[in-house]
Amino acid sequence: YFTVVSPDVGGAKRGELYVQLLEEYAASANTRVEVEMAVIYKRRKGPTQIEVPWVTGGHAIKGRDVVIVDDILGTGGTAHEAGLKCRQLGARRVALAATHAECSQEAWHKLGTEVFDNVFITNSLPVERLSQPLSLHWRVISVAPLLAEAIKEIVLYGSVSNLEKRRPGKL
């Protein structure tokens, strides 16, 4: 059982896409996987402080493997609070998947193994420029195949709109 968690209301559509992708992947592998979604509501208490007053779909976290999906890792504050909330709600394992890892120095302390079992980032930003070496629980996923496919679509067909119909693993 999986639960996809959006760390804020603005990422709910992204979370829905992850649910759909996980369901499609499971179906293509002839595996039955139950995937649910939760959305964390956050409230800013200051420039770098947030609180989590409630979670919609929080019942789908207890005893499950959770993946928090975010677009940008900056200070790590939102991801950290989301991870802590998932732990408090009884998640079995907590992973973080983020597209762009800007990762300030502060983020490294917040995204440690006491909150996250795994952190998945892409190399959309140069990984070498990160302020700390990646620990073993971090994984970098290359965007090169997607960019190559986008270039091919532009050169051959003049549009990248076909990429929207494709799923990871089919590129």
Catalytic residues: 42
Q: Are 38 and 73 in contact (CB under 8 A)?
A: no
Rounded CA separation 35/18 (Å): 9
130, with CB counted inside 10 A (0-12, 13-18, 19+), is: buried
Q: Tell me how long the chain is.
A: 171
The tokens 């800013």 sit on which residue? Answer: 44
Q: Which two tokens stand for residue 65?
A: 């493997």
Cα dihedral 83, 65, 97, 147, rounded to 10, equals: -170
Quote the distance between the C-alpha of residue 43 and its chain's center. 20
